[in-house]
Structure 1
Amino acid sequence: MVDTGTPGAGEVPGQVTVGLEVSQWPFLSGEADDPQMHAILTVGVDGTEGTGRGPLLAQVLAVDCSGSMAWPPEKLHAARQAAVAAIRMLPDGTPFAVVRGNEDAAVVYPGTLGMARADEETRAAAVRAVHRLVAGGGTCIGAWLELSRRLLAEQDAPIGHVLLLTDGKNQHDERMPLAEVLELCAGRLICDAWGIGDGWDGQELLGIARRLHGSASSVRDEAALAAEYEKLMGRLLAKTVPELEISVTPMTGAAVRYLKQVYPGEAELTPEGGDSTGPRRFVTRAWGDEFRRYQLCLSADPTGRPHHEDLQLAVVAVGVPGGTDVRLPPPRPCVVHWTDDPALSARTDAQVDHFDLEFRLAEAIVDAREAFHGGDAGLTERSLGRAVRLAHAMDSDRQLARLTALVEIEDAEMGRVRLRPGVRAVDFEHLITESSHSTYGPASDLSTGRGRGAGAGGATVTCPGCSRQAPATARFCPTCRHDFRGPS
């Protein structure tokens, strides 16, 4: 677990402790058209285990029962087994319901528009109801989430969670538009979305997960789904801090552009509070013993500000809405150092660099998917080659291993690859969801509040046009203007 600091005065043994660090490269050019300061905030929570707090969860299991789930029969069997595995893990007293989803949505357990409380009898009854699920109809994911929202709204549990499974695209969106439902659900529940079979849309699942602060995942082997549900439920049941609030207070001449979660996956954060020049509050959901990373973007105005010294640009703090016995870290500054030295202002923080590379890698994978669907094998290879080059620049063996399922890598640094024979459309969907789970990035140390990667200059790659080194985040070579997005 992340070290959130050594015990200090006033700390109570067994108390939940929160840590905060800010990693940034402070040097900006005062001549830039739109100066922006990017920083990575790392927030860690420790001590939730053994506190005596019970689970804070209310759980809805939304199971796709559209007609496509009928074949092959292993799909619906795996969906039933996974739902049963999750139900059996629910502690006594946990509110829960099972929703059958097709072009509509219906509560199949407890059978009324409400939720049951888990105990030996209700878990057994829910298992019997799950085993009676049959496939038929279309797919309207918005209807499933809207029913889940209504169910969870009646509960007083601090953490409302939906575990959603689908094997197809959202073909009946007009019945209950997903985009509208996501706006209604945002901030009211968390959703983890899973794909099974070969007809689902990875981008669609990512959109749900990012808006509702969950994750998008998939299984290649239906038989693995039950074990994955058990792992997910284990993590959920360990979360005992319902919310943490990150507040950013900009100084005069600064404004908050955005704050977004970048690790362990990307999630949208909607600010609360005044306009961008005043304090902004961002609520994050459902914490156990874990850490997450967020990218903060601030605009800055050098007019009338002194150069060649560190100036406070904003103050970042973490709090608990409603107050609790959680031990919080002191606020941390985000600074700027206006400089005329282009060698300083051209560099970036290593952690910011890392997550920019991950974002661009995800873009390359989506481009490859679109090219594959369009029948353009050459563009598919070039897009996957770009993804390989970025993964190599990140030094990410995990991302490279995922990509080798689709391509044979001839030269990772140059991005030369060859599409493997037999690649299917669903392979790109799996790659999209797998790559949405971020890698950790440069090392950090919450005990000191400083990122050890804070002074790094960022990764570089060899330009295939002129063989000079270029920043891995560059879209064009600064020497010969080679387009890194095009063919090598």
Structure 2
Amino acid sequence: MDTERPRAGGTAGRVAVGLETSQWKYLSDGAADPQMHCVLSVRVDGTGGVGRPDAPMLAQVLAVDCSSSMSWPVEKLHAAQQAALAAIRKLPDGTPFAVVRGDHQATMAYPATPGMALASPGTRARAARAVHDLVAGGGTCIGSWLDLSRRLLTEQDAPIGHVLLLTDGKNQHDEQMPLDQVLDTCAGRFVCDAWGIGDHWDGRELVRITTRLHGRADSVREERDLPAAYERLVDGLLTKSVPELTISVTTMPGCSVRYLKQVYPAKTELTAEADGTGRFVTRAWGDETRRYQLCLSADPSGRPREEDLQLAIVAVDVPGGEARLPPPQPCLVHWTQNPALSQHTDDQVEHFEQHQRLGEALAAATDAHRGGRLDLAAHQLGRSVQLAHAMGAREVLDRLARLVHVDDAETGQVALRPGVTAADFEHLITAASHSTYGPESGSAAGAPPAGGGATVRCPRCSDRSPATAKFCPSCGHRFEARP
């Protein structure tokens, strides 16, 4: 539901927030480790013109890989330079910005000393000269690039800090500034989008960065496509005017939160605030919809059976800003001994579980290809085709088609194409980090299991499929005809 209520203590503002939940409420009271999964759809509208008129909303750092591998082919560094300039040209006057040169350490490209300039015709021209003067040399220590970006953004009061990171290589000097430690320090400080270019970057590494820093990983196959991609990304950033939105989960006795994670449009880790309030902070909103998967642990001991019980209450808020907020939504449980009810799960939950399995299959295919086990790589790519086809993940299917000839997408019959390279797998991994929207919400939580809002377990592999599916998208098992 998205019936709106004004913020307490304030007049309803232009920004309107919507909240919907989707779940299958039936759980077996004899399950060894009962868990309730629920998909939360959060929608924000009306952010246009909400930004502060007297100060910029965005502070932007461009971290450009200038390691020695960027020197060949020469088009690679040129594309990185042109992309940085395209992004700078898009920044409105008064926007704090900086360019970081990254190799085995991080140094300032513009301004020359640590700090950020305010966008203006003069600073853009001086930044352009500095970017044109960038030369390639040295190794790669991504942790140092992010750490310098953090220090630059800490000095700014713009509500939304953003880092746009570009690399063509693996993080080979991690011991100098371990990436995991840097991500712990940077988490919650800014949003980072990370891009791969060339042939030697690590897709899973970029996804690890953006998952922690609430951004997205992406890549370009052709260097000439990078400037336009940067322009589109900055255009999107400039529409964001809500710095934070919090999701609060209040659990009932006998229930606890296992996790809350963003699953659409890309996977993002969320960590509850340390104050024990069950609040999770999400970053940098424009007019958009995001989806989150909530997992609750529940204990049926001493609880009534065969009736709806409240496990938790979910609420959203926009801290420090005027917004029209939806009423809190309940997450329910209905303990039952009827397996015809408890064997099903919500179709939206299953959709995003399928995305998780897709990522695992692609990672397994990548590892198999690196190890020269081409038959295993082809098998895992076939499973990936099945999953992507079942979910309608068109971008992933298009990129898979570069690696395999698809004979039958529904059953995952594929043949590995000759000449497939390691870089082809990295492009695939970044594409798979962008999830599809999934089934529409709104089916009644207590409706009978009639296909559209439920899934069933495959007797061969135990994965779940839509109740109306003819084949299991994971193993290809053909289901018996159902009435």
Tell me, yes or no, whether TM beats 0.5.
Answer: yes
Q: Residue in 1 aligned with 2:138?
A: 137
Q: Within 5 A, what are the aligned runs for 1:34-73?
A: 34-51=33-50, 53-54=52-53, 55-73=56-74
* Aligned-pair CA distance for 1:403: 1.4
* Aligned-pair CA distance for 1:443: 1.4
Q: Residue in 2 aligned with 1:305?
A: 303
* Aligned-pair CA distance for 1:400: 2.3
What CA distance in whole angstroms lies between the structure 2 residues aligned with 1:304 and 1:172? 55
CA shift in 2, pair 1:36/1:396, >3 Å: same
2:304 alignment partner AA: P
2:378 aligned to which of 377, 381, 387: 381
Q: Residue in 2 aligned with 1:121?
A: 122
CA shift in 2, pair 1:388/1:459, >3 Å: farther
CA shift in 2, pair 1:449/1:121, >3 Å: farther
Q: Contact conserved, 2:406 with 2:414, CA < 8 A, in 1? A: yes
2:315 aligned to which of 317, 332, 351: 317
Given the alignment of the two structures, is residue 434 of structure 1 paired with residue 431 of structure 2, yes or no?
yes
CA shift in 2, pair 1:337/1:182, >3 Å: same
| Local SS of the residue matching 2:324 | coil
* Aligned-pair CA distance for 1:460: 7.7
CA shift in 2, pair 1:177/1:288, >3 Å: same
What CA distance in whole angstroms lies between the structure 2 residues aligned with 1:471 and 1:314? 35
Q: Residue in 1 aligned with 2:464?
A: none
Q: Contact conserved, 1:394 with 1:459, CA < 8 A, in 2? A: no
Given the alignment of the two structures, is residue 76 of structure 1 paired with residue 74 of structure 2, yes or no?
no
CA shift in 2, pair 1:111/1:8, >3 Å: closer
CA shift in 2, pair 1:188/1:9, >3 Å: closer
Given the alignment of the two structures, is residue 157 of structure 1 paired with residue 158 of structure 2, yes or no?
yes
Q: Residue in 1 aligned with 2:20?
A: 21
Instruction: Say what the alpha-carbon RMSD is for the aligned residues.
Output: 2.9
What CA distance in whole angstroms lies between the structure 2 residues aligned with 1:121 and 1:462? 67
Q: Residue in 2 aligned with 1:203?
A: 204
1:282-309: per-residue Cα shift (whole Å, max 9, x none)?
A: 0000000001000000000101111111
What CA distance in whole angstroms lies between the structure 2 residues aligned with 1:233 and 1:414? 40
* Aligned-pair CA distance for 1:12: 7.6
Q: Residue in 2 aligned with 1:96?
A: 97
Q: Residue in 1 aligned with 2:282?
A: 284
CA shift in 2, pair 1:337/1:455, >3 Å: farther
* Aligned-pair CA distance for 1:401: 2.3
* Aligned-pair CA distance for 1:326: 1.2
What CA distance in whole angstroms lies between the structure 1 residues aligned with 2:305 and 2:445? 25
Which blocks of at least 5 consecutive residues in structure 1 are unaligned?
A: 481-488
What CA distance in whole angstroms lies between the structure 1 residues aligned with 2:132 and 2:445? 51
What CA distance in whole angstroms lies between the structure 2 residues aligned with 1:181 and 1:169? 16
What CA distance in whole angstroms lies between the structure 1 residues aligned with 2:39 and 2:23? 7
1:117 alignment partner AA: L
Q: Residue in 2 aligned with 1:486?
A: none
TM-score (norm 2): 0.91
1:118-163: per-residue Cα shift (whole Å, max 9, x none)?
A: 1111111111110110101110001100100111111111111100
1:392 alignment partner AA: H
1:396 aligned to which of 393, 397, 402: 393
1:255-314: per-residue Cα shift (whole Å, max 9, x none)?
A: 000000000000000111456xxx411000000000100000000010111111111100
* Aligned-pair CA distance for 1:461: 7.5
1:243-266: per-residue Cα shift (whole Å, max 9, x none)?
A: 001000000110000000000000
Q: Contact conserved, 1:460 with 1:470, CA < 8 A, in 2? A: no
CA shift in 2, pair 1:52/1:34, >3 Å: closer
2:324 aligned to which of 324, 327, 340: 327
* Aligned-pair CA distance for 1:430: 0.1
Q: Contact conserved, 1:357 with 1:472, CA < 8 A, in 2? A: no
Q: Residue in 1 aligned with 2:364?
A: 367
2:163 alignment partner AA: V
Which blocks of at least 5 consecutive residues in structure 2 are unaligned?
A: 462-466
1:44 alignment partner AA: R
1:300-341: per-residue Cα shift (whole Å, max 9, x none)?
A: 0101111111111000000122x3211111100000011111
What CA distance in whole angstroms lies between the structure 1 residues aligned with 2:6 and 2:80? 48
1:178-209: per-residue Cα shift (whole Å, max 9, x none)?
A: 11111000010111000000010000000000
| Local SS of the residue matching 1:444 | coil
CA shift in 2, pair 1:385/1:271, >3 Å: same
CA shift in 2, pair 1:218/1:397, >3 Å: closer
Q: Residue in 1 aligned with 2:188?
A: 187
1:83-135: per-residue Cα shift (whole Å, max 9, x none)?
A: 00000111111111100000011111111111111111111111111011010
Q: Contact conserved, 1:414 with 1:462, CA < 8 A, in 2? A: no
| Local SS of the residue matching 1:252 | coil
Q: Residue in 2 aligned with 1:344?
A: 341
What CA distance in whole angstroms lies between the structure 1 residues aligned with 2:302 and 2:472? 34
What CA distance in whole angstroms lies between the structure 1 residues aligned with 2:222 and 2:156? 35
Q: Residue in 2 aligned with 1:267?
A: 268
* Aligned-pair CA distance for 1:4: 5.6
Identity %, equivalent residues: 62
Choose 42-51 or 227-236, whichever is displaced more.
42-51
* Aligned-pair CA distance for 1:474: 6.8
1:288 alignment partner AA: G
Q: Contact conserved, 2:193 with 2:210, CA < 8 A, in 1? A: yes
* Aligned-pair CA distance for 1:457: 1.7
Q: Contact conserved, 2:103 with 2:141, CA < 8 A, in 1? A: yes
What CA distance in whole angstroms lies between the structure 2 residues aligned with 1:9 and 1:162? 31
User: How many matched pairs?
Assistant: 469
Q: Residue in 2 aligned with 1:483?
A: none
TM-score (norm 1): 0.90
CA shift in 2, pair 1:302/1:274, >3 Å: farther
What CA distance in whole angstroms lies between the structure 2 residues aligned with 1:128 and 1:450? 63
CA shift in 2, pair 1:461/1:421, >3 Å: farther
1:356 alignment partner AA: E
Q: Contact conserved, 1:372 with 1:380, CA < 8 A, in 2? A: yes
* Aligned-pair CA distance for 1:410: 1.6
What CA distance in whole angstroms lies between the structure 2 residues aligned with 1:381 and 1:92? 51
Q: Residue in 1 aligned with 2:86?
A: 85
* Aligned-pair CA distance for 1:435: 1.1
1:194-250: per-residue Cα shift (whole Å, max 9, x none)?
A: 000001000000000000000000000000000000000011111000000100000
